[in-house]
């Protein structure tokens, strides 16, 4: 990364860390994206001038509330997709988020990513996926990569996993904050200390040794290569097949394709 870009990211990370420190770090719950991971994602949205975030996987709304707060303060938009299979949990989450201007969508991300990618062609978009996970989530994002998509991010990229290697192949170690923010400021350090404290108190299952949210910033060459990727791990849901179904308006069939791929090929 050029020195100037590194400085811009560091400044953005200070702003993002300050926002997360406004009470959000302490609200972290098991299963949610860690506070520093959220701050890193926001910092990348700032440096890439993202105007709309499309999130999939909100559960109790931890990540969604932070994104919604950032969006409402900065004149940005947030679309948040979830299956909402547990209706009581979904209702509590909607209540938690009621004060924020968020487009809350109930449905399968395999369909909704297609619909929203199409509707948001005129915006500068950032993708954040935390459900579904793994290769299905990657192929879904890759299928939605129009020229207007500035970055794509996915949670739970565990060390040694092939999905993590895929992200690093395109974006290098800088897809994770440890490398991208090798030099960081006082608010980032404060957030780091707070996060360690909270994770210890909560007996967090995930380690804080290495972050698992990969954020891939897209330039035309990366976008072209990710969109066109053909991988065995995608099974039947190769990005170009998913994109073709969306282009035909066959959104429901897309969810079925992912289900069929899992049943026939286990992926």
Ligand X SMILES: C[S@@+](CC[C@H](N)C(=O)[O-])C[C@H]1O[C@@H](n2cnc3c(N)ncnc32)[C@H](O)[C@@H]1O
**Cα dihedral: 180, 183, 188, 190 (round 10):** 140
Q: Which residue, 108 or 261, has its beta carbon nearer to ligand X?
A: 108
Task: Tell me the backbone φ, ψ of residue 196, rounded to 5 degrees.
Answer: -60, -45
Of 24, 40, 62, 116, which lies in the binding site for ligand X, with binding defined by CB under 6 A?
A: 62
From candidates 126, 132, 171, 239, binder to ligand X by CB under 6 A: 132
Residue 186 Cβ, how far from ligand X at the closest point, in Å?
25
Q: Which part of the chain contacts ligand X (CB under 6 A), choosing from 102-110, 174-182, 183-191, 229-237?
A: 102-110
Put residue 106 in one of left, alpha, beta given phi > 0 → left and psi -120 to 50 → alpha.
beta
Output the smallest distance, CB 248 to ligand X, in A: 20
The answer to the question of residue 83 lying near ligand X (CB under 6 A) is: yes
Cα separation, 163 vs 30, in Å, equals 22
Tally of CB atoms within 10 A around 56? 27
Check residue 152 for interaction with ligand X (CB under 6 A): no
Q: 130 or 174: whose CB is closer to ligand X?
A: 130
Of the pair 84, 190, the CB lying nearest ligand X is at 84
Q: Check residue 69 for interaction with ligand X (CB under 6 A).
A: no
Binding flag, residue 131, ligand X (CB under 6 A): yes
Report the distance separating Cα 266 and Cα 212, nearest Å.
Answer: 24
**Nearest alpha-carbon partner for 233 in 188, 257, 266:** 266
**Would you put residue 159 in left (φ > 0), alpha (ψ -120 to 50) or beta?**
beta
82 counts as binding ligand X under rule CB under 6 A: yes
Number of residues located near ligand X, criterion CB under 6 A: 20
Residue 33 sits in the site that holds ligand X (CB under 6 A): yes
The reply on whether position 127 binds ligand X by CB under 6 A is no
Residue labelled with tokens 């947030």: 78
Q: For residues 155 and 223, which CB has a smaller minimum distance to ligand X in the complex?
A: 155
- Please give the angle made by the CA atoms of 60, 64 and 65, to the nearest 5 degrees: 90
Find the shortest distance in angstroms from Cβ 5 to ligand X: 27
Please select the residue that binds ligand X; options are 9, 52, 53, 57, rule is CB under 6 A: 57
Name which of 223 and 235 has its Cβ closer to ligand X. 235
Min separation Cβ 245 and ligand X, Å: 15
- Contact (Cβ atoms closer than 8 angstroms) between residue 16 and residue 188: no
Could you give the C-alpha distances from 27 to 16, 174, 188, 198, in angstroms and in order? 16, 27, 17, 9
Site residues (vs ligand X, CB under 6 A):
31-33, 56-60, 62-63, 81-83, 85, 108-110, 130-132
């Amino acid at each position: 990364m050029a020195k100037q870009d590194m400085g811009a990211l560091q400044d953005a990370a200070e702003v993002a860390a300050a926002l997360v420190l406004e009470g959000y770090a302490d609200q972290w719950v098991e299963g949610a994206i860690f506070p520093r991971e959220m701050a890193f994602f926001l910092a990348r949205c700032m440096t890439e001038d993202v105007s709309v975030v499309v999130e999939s996987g909100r559960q109790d709304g931890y990540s969604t509330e932070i994104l919604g707060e950032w969006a409402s303060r900065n004149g940005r938009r947030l679309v948040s997709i979830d299956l909402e299979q547990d209706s009581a949990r979904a209702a509590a989450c909607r209540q938690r988020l009621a004060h924020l201007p968020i487009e809350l969508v109930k449905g399968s991300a395999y369909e909704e990513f297609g619909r929203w990618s199409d509707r948001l062609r005129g915006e500068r978009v950032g993708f954040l996926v935390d459900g579904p996970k793994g290769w299905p989530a990657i192929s879904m994002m890759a299928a939605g990569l129009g020229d207007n998509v500035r970055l794509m991010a996915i949670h739970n990229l565990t060390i040694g996993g092939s999905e993590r290697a895929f992200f690093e192949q395109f974006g290098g170690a800088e897809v994770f904050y440890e490398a991208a923010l090798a030099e960081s400021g006082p608010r980032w350090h404060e957030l780091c200390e707070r996060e360690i404290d909270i994770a210890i108190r909560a007996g967090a299952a995930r380690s804080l040794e290495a972050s698992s949210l990969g954020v891939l910033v897209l330039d035309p060459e990366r976008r072209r290569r990710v969109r066109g990727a053909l991988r065995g791990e995608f099974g039947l849901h190769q990005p170009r097949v998913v994109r073709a179904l969306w282009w035909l308006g066959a959104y429901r069939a897309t969810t079925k394709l992912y289900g069929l791929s899992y049943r026939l090929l286990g992926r």
